[in-house]
Structure 1
């Protein structure tokens, strides 16, 4: 008895409706590719042999994690050599500063042993022999001699400081090269492609790995310049990814310059975070084409479709007033509850809405 009431209720819920047509702007389908939100290619900065390649394609890393390391034994040897030169330069600077201070405190030009005269005692040498020799030879000036000695010692200090700075610069250059021998993740992301393996020899500029931020994904498409006019930032367009995933994408970036050879403009579209897509997948983008006139499309409620069928089908009322099964080809969704019919129906056809699951040709609603 309960089953009978359920069947009656289901039949009474069915009704006959008319297929309607509505205006639809013309659209153009273009191919695109799923890309990471951002992507970088890490290249070798120094020559050498690859010692470490972390993970594999698809491996996730945090910012700062080691990705690739180039052998740096030669650079380490150069660094030790530069450190030895730096220590020597520091010692020379220390000695030069001491010699300068000695000249300031105890001038060489006034040293009583600096120019001994004729075997006479030192005091007599200072007050008798040196003045006599200076007047006789005319080639000695105590003040100028002192200035010359101070300048000589200060020059030695300046040269020693210069050598220390030169050694520090060499050390910093070596440290920079050592840093360049290591490639780390610039941000949280995934290894998209590996171009080298452990043991490979690389040269500066050679690509090592491609690394991308894949938490958010985008579509990248080269769009004819005539179609770009219909796009604006944050505009949403329908997309189909990998032939199965239907969703919308938002315009995030429109390049300001067109390709001169192909007359296309690169446009990027942001995907929703819940869309399951991988970088490299093919996607179709449905763009409005303002250069074409709009067309009429047939629209039916989704409840018209018979449930549990492998192919989309509906029950159509024929000229005899009876229902018959008909296969239809569906297009894009028209809002939340309706869908486009590409073929199988005509405008004005009458179909059964909300038919029961077991309905077949000949079924008619009870209230008809």
Structure 2
């Protein structure tokens, strides 16, 4: 049976400095009504931006308000939680469909001592990330939503329901059962307000940490920096593309593809030219070459969506790249162009030495010719 990933557990006792009814971000969030001595609430925040989409993480907080001194045992599993997202009119928003590639782990039995609370993140990350959406809410294989950038406000609602166990007591405490309607919480679909005077220093701090040798420090800063849409981030992403770390290069190209200006395009050019010698810490030359190929493919995808007026011409210049994935990306971009140059490219690639590249070019060429006939 699939279950929720529960991690980042933070136990908050009555001595906690957190004010009751306040989330980690400082926003007021209502608790549910009490059921058998337990209350609960949800909270959400934007974690980072990937593929132009804000990735939202969700937390569940449980509070033991029972007047019984025994610890309370709560098992939050996949069968016990349901969710829905509603639009400004209160109507349900359809969820995502398709393959879910993440793992869903079992849930430990959580212990809440008398007058305590526990807060933890729920939901794995297994849904594919669609491009340039306001938010992706990922709560497991049955609950995922991609919310568009339409300016609307969306809310997440949930229900926690656990049936009474036959053996509801153990040496550790009493197992909770009941039903909790979790109050709606607003889904963050845009960046948090930032003091304009603080943005510059913040970008400098995060950019420096992103380039740090410590991988955990770098990744955390990378996620935070992705939340900032400001042209002053561009030089830091260019430095990241110049690094010898493939993961850092990949992320930087993704961000640069959505930024304007010659400096952003210069970073994409660096990605275009990546070769095995530019990749560090590879176990073999073949592994380095494979990583470089992935980086060039990412650069090609980035050029295909870049707002820079020269980006498409640069992409077409990659038609003879050694990577078949790069050449296919070039072909697909050319098929969307109405020009003699793009038509000539399709005809050339229809003679490509790789059968997959050749087949894709022939397919797109036929579609284009059929369209011209109509």
TM over 0.5, yes or no?
Answer: no
TM-score by length of 2: 0.23
Whichever of the two has the greater Rg, that structure is 1
Q: Higher helix share goes to which structure? A: 2
